[in-house]
């Protein structure tokens, strides 16, 4: 309940309501882009300042490795489940979307931890950056494999039924190109660059940047979540008519992914704050970076399916309900 009376969350709910009643309230795309870059820069600085205090330890390295492992395991599980019900390309696209992460969900979770005074490690921002790309790469690899099967005359249809023939497959996307795009993406570079700057400048940098990265952060997040609420409401119609299995995956999949992350947190004996953030990362679904890449890399997949489910259903559920639940569970289990 405490999460629901947070101003930023209330602005998100307000945006959903405004979009649902088809209001002409709109945030210009350029401002929305600026807000997202601001949040990533401020988050990177916060992470860097925290790392400057704690240092780069072996436990930090193990936590980052565990985050990357989750980013590989989750889309593989998702693909294995979804290919029984939808085409291989759609299964790969949805699995990649849910195997990657949502920066805004993570930023909101960080703000929730700070509001409640729950400590967390600055390296979790690096974990978020590292978890974004593996799912994209796996999706491209799986799609190229499907195209090769199509080219050889064997097409695996939804439900696992093999069919002969089919259209000639387009050329597969280059994994090297996808890797380059993933690691040189402007948002990714800004996050990592800000983290390095925060790490190098330490306490002096933290004091100098506090008016930017601390004082403005809450208001900027609220403004951005208002925009996200409007977008979520306008993408809800895409969820209608989808298979009940896909809707169930959009609702229950994140819960299963968060449970996997909790298991990892228990094994590694992470703190409640770090465990909660790992759960949030595992449960989130990308609606910016991954869909943008998949439109080019997997043109055979339906954007309305993977984008509509992630932004229209999973994102609102995580923002309003998921974050407080994951935090409460992490505190109960890891404290």
156 DSSP β-pair partners: 162
Residues 6 or more apart in contact with residue 82 via CB below 8 angstroms: 90, 91, 94, 95, 246, 249
Domain that holds residue 233: 27-334
pLDDT of residue 168: 38
Beta-strand ranges (E) seen in 139-279 are 154-156, 162-164
CB 327 within 8 A of CB 118: yes
269 DSSP β-pair partners: none
Where is 158: in which H helix or E strand? none
pLDDT of residue 236: 77
| Successive 10-residue mean pLDDT values, the chain, 335 residues | 70 91 90 87 85 80 90 94 90 92 90 90 85 83 80 55 41 57 67 87 91 88 88 79 86 95 94 94 87 78 83 90 94 92
Q: What is the distance between the alpha carbons of residues 12 and 207, in angstroms, rounded to a whole number?
A: 30
Residue 5 placed within a domain: no
Q: By C-alpha distance, which of 279, 284, 257, 262 is closest to 334?
A: 262
Residue 41 placed within a domain: yes
pLDDT of residue 170: 44
Q: What is the distance between the alpha carbons of residues 181 and 195, in angstroms, rounded to a whole number?
A: 20
Residue 235 placed within a domain: yes
Lookup: tokens for 256? 């299963």
pLDDT of residue 201: 92
Q: By C-alpha distance, which of 124, 31, 105 is closest to 326?
A: 105
Residue 303 placed within a domain: yes
* Residue 10 burial by Cβ neighbours in a 10 Å radius (0-12, 13-18, 19+): middle
Lookup: tokens for 306? 């993977």
Is 301 strand, coil or helix? coil
> Dihedral sign, CA of 255, 259, 261, 266?
positive
Residue 20 placed within a domain: no
* Residue 84 burial by Cβ neighbours in a 10 Å radius (0-12, 13-18, 19+): exposed
CB 214 within 8 A of CB 325: no
pLDDT of residue 326: 96
CATH number of the domain encompassing residue 113: 1.20.1530
pLDDT of residue 145: 81
Residue 34 placed within a domain: yes
Where is 105: in which H helix or E strand? helix 103-115
Q: What is the distance between the alpha carbons of residues 37 and 55, in angstroms, rounded to a whole number?
A: 26
Lookup: tokens for 309? 């489910």
Total domains in the chain come to: 1
Residue 212 placed within a domain: yes
Q: What is the distance between the alpha carbons of residues 173 and 141, in angstroms, rounded to a whole number?
A: 9
pLDDT of residue 165: 40
pLDDT of residue 213: 86
pLDDT of residue 4: 56
Residue 1 placed within a domain: no
pTM for the model: 0.82
């Amino acid at each position: 309940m405490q999460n629901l009376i947070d101003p930023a969350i209330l602005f998100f709910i307000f945006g959903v309501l405004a979009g649902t009643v088809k209001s002409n309230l709109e945030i210009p795309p350029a401002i929305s882009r600026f807000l997202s870059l601001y949040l990533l820069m401020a988050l990177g600085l916060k992470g860097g300042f925290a790392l400057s205090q704690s240092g780069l330890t072996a436990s930090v390295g193990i936590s980052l490795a565990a985050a990357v492992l989750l980013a590989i395991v989750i889309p593989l599980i998702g693909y294995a489940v979804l290919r029984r019900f939808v085409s291989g390309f759609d299964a790969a696209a949805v699995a990649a979307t849910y195997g990657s992460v949502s920066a805004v969900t993570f930023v909101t979770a960080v703000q929730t931890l700070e509001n409640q005074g729950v400590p967390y490690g600055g390296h979790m921002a690096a974990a978020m950056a590292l978890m974004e790309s593996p799912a994209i790469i796996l999706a491209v690899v799986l799609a190229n494999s499907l195209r090769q099967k199509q080219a050889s005359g064997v097409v695996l249809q939804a439900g696992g039924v093999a069919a002969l023939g089919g259209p000639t497959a387009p050329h597969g996307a280059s994994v090297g190109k996808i890797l380059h795009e993933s690691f040189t993406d402007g948002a990714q570079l800004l996050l990592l660059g800000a983290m390095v700057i925060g790490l190098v400048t330490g306490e002096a940098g933290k004091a100098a940047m506090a008016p930017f990265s601390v004082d403005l952060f809450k208001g900027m997040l609220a403004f951005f979540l208002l925009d996200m609420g409007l977008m979520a409401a306008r993408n809800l119609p895409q969820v209608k008519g989808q298979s009940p299995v896909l809707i169930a995956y959009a609702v229950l999949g994140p819960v299963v992914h968060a449970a996997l992350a909790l298991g990892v947190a228990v094994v590694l004996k992470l703190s409640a704050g770090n465990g909660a953030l790992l759960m949030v990362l595992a449960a989130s679904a990308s609606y910016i970076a991954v869909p943008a890449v998949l439109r080019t890399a997997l043109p055979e997949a339906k954007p309305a399916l993977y984008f509509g489910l992630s932004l229209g259903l999973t994102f609102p559920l995580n923002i309003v309900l998921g974050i407080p639940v994951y935090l409460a569970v992490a505190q109960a289990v890891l404290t």
